[in-house]
Amino acid sequence: MDKNKILVVEDEKDTLFILDKLLSKNNYQVFTATNGKEALDLMDKLVPEVIIADWTMPVMDGLELCNVVKKNEKLKHIYFIILTARASLKDRVAGLDIGADDFLVKPVQNQELLARIRSGMRIHNLQDELRSIEHDKAIVEMACTIGHKINNPLSSLLVSIKNIEHDLKDADNKIFDEDLQVINQSIERIKILVNDLTHLKSPEMIDYASDSKMIKLD
């Protein structure tokens, strides 16, 4: 089972070392950065479940980092904890307005930090489940819509083909028999596709091309 990933962003080396050891000891996969810019560079390759960032740092502080993360569609669901020596209500409101999920005032108590992280992981996982449900629901609705849209012209096509077959039989013309057989086989395949689309319940995505996926229907 993969370990949950935490990104710790802290410019004080001693604090960074202690947090790294504490979280690693508690079975988290820990990544570290000394400012917000370094953190963003790391997140080009990984997306942690939780970020713990000091408010006051050079180059890009924790609040600026939080602002960037929460505006990014790929990153905005990360649970963001800000560490700060600022305990005023005004500062907390400013952080919450930016999008911070939680605050811890330095010096941080280990057990409280771990408890907040566990809470953040639960929230993050719940959000993942909800997004997955919404994604599957959207796929089912799209598949059903496409199925019905195909079914309407397919019905007209079936009627037309039957009329053509009837006229050709009356003319006793066998030259089109093979073509009609291919057409009818193709129509049957389309009918199966329509049925699969309109009755899709648990969509599963499979690899189709290099960077493409498709819905598994059979």
Task: Tokens for 161, please give them.
Answer: 């083909």
- 54 confidence band (pLDDT: 50, 70, 90): very high
The tally of domains found in the chain comes to: 2
Cβ atoms of residues 198 and 148 within 8 Å: yes
Q: Is residue 11 situated within a structural domain?
A: yes
Judge if 151 and 70 occupy the same domain: no
90: in domain: yes
pLDDT in tens, 64-92: 999 999 999 889 889 999 988 766 677 67
Q: What stretches of 61-204 adopt beta strand conformation (E)?
A: 79-84, 102-105
pLDDT at 8 over 90: yes
Of the two residues 137 and 121, the one the predictor is more confident about is 121
What per-residue confidence (pLDDT) applies to 20?
A: 94
Task: Please state, in angstroms and rounded to a whole number, the distance separating the CA atoms of residues 158 and 145.
Answer: 20
54: containing domain: 5-108
Is 52 part of any domain?
yes
- pLDDT tens digits, one per residue of 103-118: 888 888 899 989 989 8
CA distance 60 to 81: 16
User: Are the CB atoms for 209 and 216 separated by under 8 Å?
Assistant: no
CA atoms of 23 and 53, how far apart (whole Å): 14
CATH number, domain at 52? 3.40.50.2300
Q: How far apart are CA 153 and CA 148, in angstroms?
A: 9
Q: Residue 19: its pLDDT value, please?
A: 94
pLDDT of residue 201: 73
Whole-model pTM: value is 0.61
Yes or no: say if 80 and 95 are a contact pair by the CB < 8 Å rule: no
